[in-house]
Amino acid sequence: MKIHTLFDLSGNIPSFILTTDGKCHDSNVLDILQPIPDAVYIMDKAYIDFKALYQMHKLGAFFISQSKSSMDYSILETNYNIDENTGLRSDKIIELNGYKSKQLYPESLRLVEFYDIEKDNKLSFLTNNFDITALEVANLYRNRWQIEIFFK
């Protein structure tokens, strides 16, 4: 059994909970959600479904997810104005290259790379939000761990 939870950080309480059997892929839950314009949805990379994410984008909602290492993309633009002392490693605007993924998400995306010195781990975040800083992207993803704390 899996528990899929939408956690509202403003109140630190779940606003959506769905239990599924183990056969239900995590990304299928995105088809059930009704995205709210201007809301930011922070999710694990298991939820990456470019069709659902593009639908979310068209409805005016934002998402941040860890990117998959196998993601095929081209770099359109690189922001060199980052401070590596913060953990940031790169901030790029990309487009997907895969035939299917490019059809499902035909617009540009943002890829932010961050090095977590405490855990000696490099993380890559995928988002459709171009208005916030790269460090804000990383810090917002860090808030995703509130869901883990909630269930402990």
User: How many Cβ atoms sit within 10 Å of the Cβ of residue 103?
Assistant: 12
- pLDDT given at position 142: 82
Query: How many distinct structural domains can be found in the chain?
Result: 1
Q: State the Cα–Cα distance between residues 115 and 34, nearest whole angstrom.
A: 33
Q: What does DSSP say about strands 73-78 and 2-8: parallel, antiparallel, or unpaired? A: unpaired
pLDDT tens for each residue of the chain, 152 residues long = 655 455 555 656 555 554 666 665 555 556 667 788 998 888 888 778 899 999 999 999 999 999 988 999 999 999 999 999 999 999 999 999 999 999 999 999 999 999 988 889 999 999 999 999 999 999 988 876 655 555 55
Residue 15 has φ and ψ, to the nearest 5°, of -110, -10
pLDDT of residue 42: 85
Distance CA 56, CA 51 (A): 9
Token readout for 61 is: 């909602």
Give residue 96's Cα distance to chain centre: 15
Query: In what helix (H) or strand (E) does residue 51 lie, and over which residues does it extend?
Result: helix 50-58
Residue 104 phi, psi dihedral angles, 5° rounding: -75, -30
Q: What is the pLDDT of residue 85?
A: 94
Parent domain of 81: 2-151
